Amino acid sequence: MASCKDIALELTESLDRKLPIRYRLRVWLHVAICKECRNLKRQILFIRAAIHKIGLSPASESNIPASLRMSTQFRNRLKETMIRYEADPDIHDH
């Protein structure tokens, strides 16, 4: 019987692409009787789904914390840089 560690990389790989039947079977047989690996698999898939559902969907910008927004200083600096760049694109070549 393969151990959790034995099938770990195959388990991860199986979440990304279809493994050859031999390995798929090995993972399947282990996961069928191992609660820990079932939990692990479920949780990896859960995090993936959560990232896509709530983590990366176009946010309503209002509830985004300040730590994830650009600072006012940077915002102003960026605008100034863009204006200067538009006036003279060459300045950034050196």
Partner 1 sequence: MVISITQEEMNPSKWVDEHGDYLYRFALLRLRNPSKAEDVVQETMLAALSGRQSFTGQSKVRTWLTGILKHKIMDQFRSVHREHRLNGLFNDDDTIDDLYDSREHLIPPAQAWSGNPEKAFEQGEFQEQLRLCLKKLPKRQATIFALREMDGISSEEICKELTLTSTNYWVLLHRSRVALRRCFEIHWFGLK
Give the contacts of 27 (CB within 8 A, at least 6 positions apart): 7, 10, 11, 14, 19
Site mask, partner 1, residues 31-70, x = CB under 8 A? ----xxx-xx--xx-xxx-xx-xxxxxxxxx-xxx-xxxx
For partner 1, give the closer residue by CB, 8 or 28: 8
User: From the list Zn ion, partner 1, none, which binds 93 (C-beta under 5 to 8 Å, kind-based)?
Assistant: none
Q: Whole-number minimum distance, CB 30 to Zn ion, in Å?
A: 6
For Zn ion, give the closer residue by CB, 43 or 81: 43
CA-to-CA distance for 77 and 83, rounded, in angstroms?
Answer: 10
CA-to-CA distance for 39 and 60, rounded, in angstroms?
Answer: 32
